[in-house]
Amino acid sequence: MEVKAKLRNVRVGSQKARIVADMIRGKDVSEALKILSFMPQKPALHLKKLLESAVANADQKKVIDVDNLYVKYVTVDMGPSLGRFRPRAQGRATPVKKKSSHFNLVLDER
């Protein structure tokens, strides 16, 4: 029995978030929470909250044992980019892409 959780339109780059997601893939939930708690990267905070949400979803279902959960898979996909312009010298402007990500997390029982 799988438990899923999603987090969409998070204002972090997907490439940087994938590095954090790779650290917890396949780990037990308690171990993954410890890893994410001590990571200084911004995506770690969002992934930790998502993981806690998925555990709460599993607890709510009452079909699955929360102590035996592990991270079956976690994906980070690109979300929409916000286009902005930064003023530069001599009246020019350069584009700035503010990137966002979508997180998908699936927990399963061992």
pLDDT of residue 62: 81
Tokens of 102: 């979508």
pLDDT value at residue 7: 94
Chain centroid to CA 101: how far?
Answer: 8
User: How does the average pLDDT of the chain come out, rounded?
Assistant: 93
pLDDT at residue 63, rounded to an integer: 79
- Report the C-alpha gap between 2 and 74 in whole angstroms: 13
Q: What is the pTM of this model?
A: 0.88
Nearest to residue 41, comparing CAs of 74, 7, 8, 17?
17
Region 46-72 average pLDDT = 90
Would you say residue 36 has pLDDT above 90?
Answer: yes
Q: How many angstroms separate the CA atoms of 16 and 31, rounded?
A: 21
CATH class of 3-109: alpha beta
The tens digit of pLDDT for each residue in 10-35 reads 999 999 999 999 999 999 999 999 99
